[in-house]
Amino acid sequence: MAEFIMPALGADMEAGTLIAWLKKPGDMVKRGEIIAEIDTDKGIIEVECFTSGTIEKLLIEPGDKVPVGTAMAIIREAGEKTPEAPGTSEQSPPTRPQRIKISPLARKMAEDLNVDITTITGTGPGGRITSDDIEHLARSIEKTPEQSRADKSSRMRQAIAAAMERSKREIPHYYLSTTIDMTRAINWLAQENLKRSIEDRLLYGVLLIKAVALALRQFPEFNGYWKDGRSVRAESIHIGTAISLRGGGLIAPALQDADKLSLTDLMSRFRDLVERTRSGSLRSSELTDPTITITSLGDQGVETVFGIIYPPQVAIIGFGKVVERPWVVEGRPGVCKVMTATLSADHRVSDGHRGALYLAAVDALLQAPETL
């Protein structure tokens, strides 16, 4: 038997609330199949199963807040026999505390609106609390949607702050920066986009993602984690991309196998990831898979950004905006489009020499955009 446990959907997560099971006892499940929806400070996440088999038993009910690492279901793996039913016993089963009857949607609404469900008399079947009951009480409290969104944003910022505080306290950061001539990359991109329909055009950000990913093949020490007191290199390259949310906050889900994707596929995956991040429909693997993170504030007018490593990762890359500067190319002065790239890395895993070589590799790749 295998246990399906509450996953840690980020270094800052301590617990999650089960919103709904998408499978029931007796259902077959495959590895990677979504079986539950979990509410976290980062939104509602679709959680995948990490083994194949049959749902034997669900241990947690919708609405329960569950600490990370807690068993939520039992899965009978392929080849295992169904356990025999236990014999009868005269001993009375232990009594369980009475559970409030409430629909998953109503419980989620109550949490978002900060409504105490113990004060509500349900009007649904058997006294079940419904979403209408929550809405009725919320109207009496007169809490606006803007206030509810602010509460969610506040919880997310608190979670992010906790993770960053831990990172700065525990990880010995070192910082490097370099200026990259982006003239060739931007000129190539403009010509390439002339050949494409509007829907298929590339953003220059995908060039940055692909260059970061390919350079990690040469410098794998930056692609991985610090776990149990040692460096663990990741087998695949999953680029975490920092995405701002409309209501405030930040999430950095993974673009999986970014080094293996064409620029066209990478652009398509990136658009889809941004849309699903902002609509609150991410998968758990997209939050747990990043092996390194990119943060880019160029579109906000920032020229230089030094990121804080998101544990257990060991590096983060920062990109600023592209600006025109006087520049010397092959001994001749001119005006070029340049960008500042930074590296924040864990000194337990790498050093400044290797970090400098890595940034140089990213630079070299961006000088030949047609090869990305």
The Cα–Cα gap between 356 and 347 comes to 13
**Quick count: other Cβ atoms within 10 Å of Cβ 56?**
18
Is residue 94 over pLDDT 60? no
Band (95; pLDDT cuts 50, 70, 90): very low
**Poorest-pLDDT segment among 147-161, 225-239, 282-296:** 147-161
> 2-77: which CATH topology?
OB fold (Dihydrolipoamide Acetyltransferase, E2P) (2.40.50)
Helix (H, G, I), strand (E, B) or coil at 125: helix
Domain ranges in the chain are: 2-77, 174-371
Check whether domain 174-371 has CATH 1.10.3720.10, yes or no: no
Mean per-residue pLDDT, 102-116: 75
Is residue 256 over pLDDT 60? yes
Q: Which residues contact 275 (CB under 8 A, 6 or more apart)?
A: none
Report yes or no: 105 and 134 within 8 Å, Cβ to Cβ.
no
Q: What are phi and psi of 331, to 5 degrees?
A: 80, 0
Helix (H, G, I), strand (E, B) or coil at 49: coil
Helix (H, G, I), strand (E, B) or coil at 255: strand
Is residue 207 over pLDDT 90? yes
Query: What percent of the chain has pLDDT above 90?
Result: 55
The Cα–Cα gap between 114 and 49 comes to 31
Q: Cα dihedral sign for 127, 130, 132, 136? A: positive
Q: Kindly tell me the number of DSSP H helices and DSSP E strands found in the chain.
A: 8, 20
In terms of DSSP H, where are the helices of the chain?
104-113, 131-141, 145-170, 183-194, 204-218, 263-279, 284-288, 352-366
Beta bridge partners of 129: 102
Average model confidence (pLDDT) across the chain = 86
Question: Tell me, what's the pLDDT at 140?
Answer: 62
Question: Tell me, what's the pLDDT at 128?
Answer: 79
**Poorest-pLDDT segment among 30-44, 136-150, 349-363:** 136-150
Question: Tell me, what's the pLDDT at 173?
Answer: 97
Burial class (CB in 10 A: 0-12, 13-18, 19+), 262: exposed
Q: Which amino acid is at 143?
A: K
Closest CA to 61 of 41, 36, 28: 36
Residue for token digits 């295992």? 80
Q: pLDDT tens digits, residue range 137-173?
A: 776 655 555 555 555 666 677 777 888 888 999 999 9
Helix (H, G, I), strand (E, B) or coil at 350: coil
Closest CA to 255 of 290, 283, 220: 290
Question: Tell me, what's the pLDDT at 55?
Answer: 93
Model confidence, pTM: 0.77
Beta bridge partners of 18: 38
Question: Tell me, what's the pLDDT at 293?
Answer: 97
Is residue 96 over pLDDT 60? no
Q: Do domains 2-77 and 174-371 have the same CATH topology?
A: no
Mean per-residue pLDDT, 277-285: 85
Q: pLDDT tens digits, residue range 52-81?
A: 999 999 999 988 888 899 999 999 987 776
Question: Of 32-46, 142-156, 205-219, where does the model show the most confidence?
Answer: 205-219
- Say which residue, 35 or 143, is predicted with more confidence: 35
Q: Which residues contact 332 (CB under 8 A, 6 or more apart)?
A: none
Is residue 318 over pLDDT 80? yes
Is residue 297 over pLDDT 90? no
The full DSSP string for 70-92 is -EEEEEEETTPPPPPPPPP-SSP
Band (205; pLDDT cuts 50, 70, 90): very high
β-pair type (315-319, 292-296): parallel
Is residue 15 over pLDDT 50? yes
Is residue 121 over pLDDT 50? yes
Q: Which amino acid is at 329?
A: V
Question: Tell me, what's the pLDDT at 87?
Answer: 56
Is residue 43 over pLDDT 70? yes
